[in-house]
Structure 1
Amino acid sequence: MTVSGALAFGPYPVDPPVVLAPMAGITNVAFRQLCREHGAGLYVCEMVTTRALVERNPKTLRMIAFAEGERPRSLQLYGVDPVITRKAVEMIVDEGLADHIDLNFGCPVPKVTRKGGGSALPWRRRLFERIVRGAVEAAAPAGVPVTIKMRKGIDDEHLTYAEAGLIAQDAGVAAVALHGRTAAQRYSGTADWDAIADLKARLDVPVLGNGDIWEADDALRMVAHTGVDGVVVGRGCLGRPWLFADLAAAFAGRPERVMPALGEVAATMRRHAELLVAAFGSERDGCTDFRKHVAWYLKGFPVGAELRRALAMVSTLTELDDLLSRLDPAEPFPAHTLGQPRGRTNSPGKVALPDGWLATRDDDSVPEGAELPDSGG
């Protein structure tokens, strides 16, 4: 199956039509560079909060670092206050901090939804419209495209995706991405690709689908099922940055897929750690951040518990080199893990919301204390 590479966000073509979803603590400059070394697409940095950006929180400013040559520079904002969101976008435009802005209306984390943010926000349609329209207007003078990412709704009784998509389109967004789960589902169950198809049928702007893309062939199936213009990949690439090579091949109609032996995986792990050390400016900090990735890289490989544990406690690149040298480089890729979920999985649950949030859809007031003062998961 060959898919046209016609997707673009404003002046920026996205070819293949693949977007790396922002993931807290994961999609930093090092991981994005590693993924780009394996395949093309658009790679979004970790979500940052509008208030923290406007107030120049040092951690937030570090999080929006981009590698030299990284284009387009894609930044995701989380905000609940239309005024602060507009100021954040104006700052990005005035200081040339990014080439593309994505607005987060999909986060299901309680600390976000209980403030009325993330996947809770589209329920308040007037507030949602003010945020999106203000961001688009602030970005327009510089030609910076604004997109949104959202979920189906709060829960099955409070779906928002169809109306929110139309509101965003009318406000002038360049594209809309939909994760086919509600906030109440969190990361449980299966993604509703029928909802993604429904949204695609309703909108004229490009629609991207997100949810349960574990392999490149899943992306092709989603396109065939929903008609979407592109896909958003999150947990499927954890410990597998070469998935982007598979996606590029799949969208070009080529059959090859990357199945690295353990020696090649070890080399990728070393490269990831090296990039993290450079990004953090500290060998210890970079190696400490790398630890969370070890289990994902080694998923399905017959590596003993003691060696796994040691790798997940590394503090220096020399220590990492020594431990990686103990792996069997000829061990073939564990094909039985293909198609399996990766990263966090959890049970569905009640969504934390501000008091009285569901009572009205047309209240556009900003919940008290809604704006988070710092960024990061």
Structure 2
Amino acid sequence: MKIGPIEVWPPVVLAPMAGITNAPFRVLCREQGGGLFVCEMITSRALVERNAKTMKMIRFAEPERPRSLQLYGVDPVTVGRAVKMVAEEDLADHVDLNFGCPVPKVTRRGGGSALPYKRNLLRRILRAAVANAGPLPVTMKMRTGIDDDHLTYLDAGRIAAEEGVAAVALHARTALQHYGGTADWDAIARLKEAVPDIPVLGNGDIWSADDALRMVARTGCDGVVVGRGCLGRPWLFRDLRSAFDGSAERARPSLGEVARTMARHATMMVEAFDTERYAIADFRKHIGWYLKGFTVGAEARRRVTTADSLDELREGLAELDPDQPWPPHTDTPRGKSGERTKVHLPEGWLDDAWDTVVPEDAESDVSGG
């Protein structure tokens, strides 16, 4: 698969996930297999303003090539300036635009998965991004729409192709579905039929490498985007590489191997963050995902999950049974799930699908990364 000038094999993308896909996690995943590994969502305004937190978030580790950066924005001018900054200052090799985020603080400002409803505003943003990207390929990630009554993905895909976007990725859920229900893989097939001239990547309900193969076979998509399926399981990218290379081999690490990966992950986070205590506290959210399915006693689990330092964490991990084999039946949903009762939108957002008005202070409450 080619994303502009970038050859991508296997045809796999690590989805940007807030608080997850920082440099340490990206490096762990990249070591397992090839693909594109995208940083956490970055606010265009915050980047243009050189917000200190944001500038730290866009740091890539030395082995990360190509570097993929995802931008969020609602104002075409600001997005264009942010993309130009990325290109001119060599901050990344690939820019992805976020039109899929369903969280209220984004959609209530007209951003993320709310934005493609405004077809002409979407077009202006994509045009500004592509015009300012220079040699960098620009891609976009989106959802099927706001809800089943306001589907936008086919129009958005056609607009993207017309404006020179190098590839489109579809999370086959609506914003209302959030992370609940079942992804509509048939929508991915329809999008591929609508935009046959650029790569289409499918996202949603890929919990194993075999799921990825099934998605490609069923939809005809050119590649896959993996999000929650790799939480606590960076070796999923080894499985994906094997699967796309035609091998049936799958990674099945013992608890000892998992514990060593956890220790390394935490060590890398300590090196990446300002303070050890903060890094270990941030790492705790990964522990349940790493240990999913393994038999771990209550006291051993408590020691690991309450560690305040790297030494305490290592001591707790050392108490786990290193010979315990990989548990069966763990290729199941991970991370957040559940549907929403409503999608928070700017007042009157659904009144006109074609206007280009940028909501007042569209990015103010998410500026800073």
The answer to whether structure 1 residue 121 and structure 2 residue 124 are counterparts is no
Q: Tell me the secondary structure at the aligned position of residue 70 of structure 2.
A: strand
Match of 1:100 in 2: 94
The answer to whether structure 1 residue 263 and structure 2 residue 262 are counterparts is no
The answer to whether structure 1 residue 210 and structure 2 residue 203 are counterparts is yes
Match of 2:145 in 1: 153
Matched-pair contact (CA < 8 Å) for 1:47–1:375: no
Matched-pair contact (CA < 8 Å) for 1:148–1:176: yes
Using the alignment, how far apart are the partners of 2:235 and 2:329 within structure 1?
17
Match of 2:235 in 1: 242
1:328 offset after TM fit, Å?
Answer: 0.4
Per-residue deviation, residues 278-313 of structure 1 (Å, max 9, x unmatched): 111432222122111000000111112232232122
Q: Tell me the secondary structure at the aligned position of residue 191 of structure 1.
A: coil
1:63 offset after TM fit, Å?
Answer: 0.4
Q: What amino acid does structure 2 have at the position aligned with 1:111?
A: K
Per-residue deviation, residues 222-275 of structure 1 (Å, max 9, x unmatched): 000000000000000000000000000000000000111100110110110111
Q: What amino acid does structure 2 have at the position aligned with 1:363?
A: D
Equivalent residue for 2:167, pick from 175, 182, 194: 175
Match of 1:55 in 2: 49
The answer to whether structure 1 residue 10 and structure 2 residue 4 are counterparts is yes
Q: Tell me the secondary structure at the aligned position of residue 350 of structure 2.
A: helix
Using the alignment, how far apart are the partners of 1:108 and 1:217 within structure 2?
27
Using the alignment, how far apart are the partners of 2:339 and 2:299 within structure 1?
30
Match of 1:367 in 2: 359
Q: Which runs of 5+ in 2 are unaligned?
A: none
Per-residue deviation, residues 137-176 of structure 1 (Å, max 9, x unmatched): 100x3x0000000000000000000000000110000000
Per-residue deviation, residues 56-88 of structure 1 (Å, max 9, x unmatched): 110111000001131111000000000100111
Matched-pair contact (CA < 8 Å) for 1:149–1:176: yes
Q: What amino acid does structure 2 have at the position aligned with 1:81?
A: D
Q: Tell me the secondary structure at the aligned position of residue 329 of structure 2.
A: helix
Match of 2:84 in 1: 90
Matched-pair contact (CA < 8 Å) for 1:179–1:211: yes
Using the alignment, how far apart are the partners of 2:70 and 2:259 within structure 1?
31
Match of 1:3 in 2: none
Equivalent residue for 1:303, pick from 296, 299, 307: 296
Using the alignment, how far apart are the partners of 1:347 and 1:171 within structure 2?
32
Match of 1:280 in 2: 273
Q: Tell me the secondary structure at the aligned position of residue 267 of structure 1.
A: helix
Equivalent residue for 1:35, pick from 29, 37, 46: 29
Match of 2:136 in 1: 144
Equivalent residue for 2:310, pick from 296, 311, 317: 317
Match of 2:189 in 1: 197
State the percentage of identical aligned residues.
66
Per-residue deviation, residues 165-202 of structure 1 (Å, max 9, x unmatched): 00011000000000000000000001000000000011
Using the alignment, how far apart are the partners of 1:375 and 1:32 within structure 2?
21
Using the alignment, how far apart are the partners of 1:348 and 1:55 within structure 2?
33
Matched-pair contact (CA < 8 Å) for 1:120–1:154: yes
Q: What amino acid does structure 2 have at the position aligned with 1:312?
A: T
Q: What amino acid does structure 1 have at the position aligned with 2:66?
A: P
Give the 4+ runs in structure 1 shifted more than 3 A.
none
Q: CA RMSD in A?
A: 1.0
Q: Tell me the secondary structure at the aligned position of residue 348 of structure 1.
A: coil
Q: What amino acid does structure 2 have at the position aligned with 1:75?
A: L
Q: Tell me the secondary structure at the aligned position of residue 177 of structure 2.
A: coil
The answer to whether structure 1 residue 44 and structure 2 residue 38 are counterparts is yes
Q: Tell me the secondary structure at the aligned position of residue 179 of structure 1.
A: strand
Using the alignment, how far apart are the partners of 1:343 and 1:309 within structure 2?
20
Equivalent residue for 1:20, pick from 14, 37, 51: 14
Q: Tell me the secondary structure at the aligned position of residue 240 of structure 1.
A: coil
**Range with bigger deviation, 29-38 or 149-158:** 29-38
Using the alignment, how far apart are the partners of 2:275 and 2:363 within structure 1?
31
Matched-pair contact (CA < 8 Å) for 1:295–1:308: no
Q: Tell me the secondary structure at the aligned position of residue 92 of structure 1.
A: helix
**Range with bigger deviation, 70-79 or 344-353:** 344-353
Aligned residue pairs: how many? 367
Q: Which runs of 5+ in 1 are unaligned?
A: 1-6
TM normalised by structure 2 equals 0.98
Using the alignment, how far apart are the partners of 1:78 and 1:322 within structure 2?
40
Using the alignment, how far apart are the partners of 1:375 and 1:209 within structure 2?
29
Q: Tell me the secondary structure at the aligned position of residue 237 of structure 2.
A: helix
